[in-house]
């Protein structure tokens, strides 16, 4: 569908917004060409985004903002009512209905979008600058290492899968594309984020959303940990870019969001205690990966030990544990098994040393 407004203004900002809005949520009937209201709705979205970008020149328009605005618009539009010119409503009824007046839909969407993006810290952390975005990615990696070091090692060292290849979309779109294709689960999650009130330095605020989001993403990774550990680079990237969201029924979706949000808040409350983060990571692994076993076999001198642990306990060595003695590496035979044992020993030692350095930095 080609929108008529792209001929009215040659401004590059407006052209970019029109292009993005034109292809917004292609699978949703709400914005599809077959819907007679789609042109009118997209025009309103273009006006809102254009004005918002002009009102916030320090940020301007960044790709991804149109999807967040689109979901907010869908929610408010479906709740709006057209108040007819009639005397059948009482004055009290009119006071309530006026809050949902469709004639003020654009005003309401602009206000909610503006407050949600600015006060939550989403703009500051994910859109304001490339430096801020990279710092947010680094914070995510730090939390991931503390909660599940084995996933961190697999993604960053074993597969060398750079986070900018997948996590930018998770952060900027607030998991909008990861929780199913019908946007229903995303709406349930955003309802909780919007109402989020956690104590921080200046009182109650929703500015903790970026950290809460980090902990939600880590939980999503733990839930597909088996697939991540058993995949190669391309397979793992495909999993992350097309997250295998499993809940299908209304009850399952509500339960999924409830657990995801509750555990994220718990992790947020423990964010300054590395040991508690590690212990909660064990709990999450016990819940989502109860049958996953990771074997760590290595030869140390003349002694040979085999450690079989649940994935949750092998996910990351205890932050307070001491690394094994750095004795001379075992002699390698020509057999493939001995080579594998030595590599596993080196991996275990590296993980434990990394955890120790995080707890007791020099």
Tens of pLDDT, residues 116-147: 998 888 999 999 999 999 999 999 999 999 99
pLDDT of 308: 38
pLDDT of 82: 84
pLDDT of 239: 96
pLDDT of 292: 85
State the Rg of the chain over Cα. Answer: 25
Q: What is the mean pLDDT of each run of 10 residues along the chain (362 residues)?
A: 45 91 92 92 96 92 95 93 74 84 93 91 92 95 95 95 93 94 91 71 61 96 96 96 94 96 94 95 95 60 37 47 44 51 63 62 54
pLDDT of 298: 44
Tens of pLDDT, residues 295-313: 554 444 333 333 333 444 4
Residues composing the chain: 362
pLDDT of 131: 94
């Amino acid at each position: 569908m080609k929108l008529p407004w792209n001929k009215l203004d040659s401004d590059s900002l407006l052209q970019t917004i029109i292009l993005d809005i034109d292809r917004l949520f292609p699978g949703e009937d709400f914005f599809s060409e077959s819907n007679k209201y789609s042109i009118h709705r997209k025009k309103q979205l273009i006006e809102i985004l254009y004005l918002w970008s002009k009102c916030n020149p320090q940020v301007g328009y960044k790709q991804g903002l149109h999807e967040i605005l689109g979901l907010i618009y869908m929610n408010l539009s479906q709740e709006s009512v057209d108040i007819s010119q009639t005397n059948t409503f009482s004055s009290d009824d009119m006071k309530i209905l006026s809050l949902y007046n469709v004639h003020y839909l654009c005003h309401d969407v602009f206000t909610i979008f503006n407050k949600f993006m600015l006060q939550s810290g989403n703009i500051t952390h994910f859109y304001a600058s490339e430096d801020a975005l990279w710092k947010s990615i680094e914070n995510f990696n730090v939390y991931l290492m503390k909660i599940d070091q084995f996933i961190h090692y697999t993604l960053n060292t074993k597969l060398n899968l750079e986070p900018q290849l997948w996590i930018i979309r998770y952060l900027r779109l607030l998991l909008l594309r990861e929780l199913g294709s019908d946007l229903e689960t995303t709406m349930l999650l955003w309802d909780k984020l919007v109402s989020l009130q956690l104590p921080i330095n200046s009182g109650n605020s929703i500015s903790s959303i970026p950290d809460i989001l980090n902990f939600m993403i880590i939980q999503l990774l733990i839930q597909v940990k088996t697939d991540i550990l058993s995949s190669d680079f391309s397979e793992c990237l495909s999993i992350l870019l097309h997250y295998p969201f499993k809940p299908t029924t209304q009850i399952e979706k509500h339960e999924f969001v409830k657990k995801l949000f509750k555990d994220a808040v718990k992790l947020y409350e423990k964010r300054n205690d590395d040991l508690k983060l590690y212990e909660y990571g064990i709990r999450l692994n016990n819940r989502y990966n109860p049958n996953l076993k990771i074997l760590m076999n290595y030869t140390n001198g003349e002694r040979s030990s085999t450690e079989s642990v649940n994935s949750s306990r092998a996910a990351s060595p205890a932050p307070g544990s001491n690394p094994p003695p750095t004795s001379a590496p075992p002699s390698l035979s020509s057999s493939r098994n001995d080579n594998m044992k030595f590599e596993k020993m080196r991996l275990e030692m590296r993980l434990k040393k990394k955890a120790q350095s995080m707890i007791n930095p020099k």
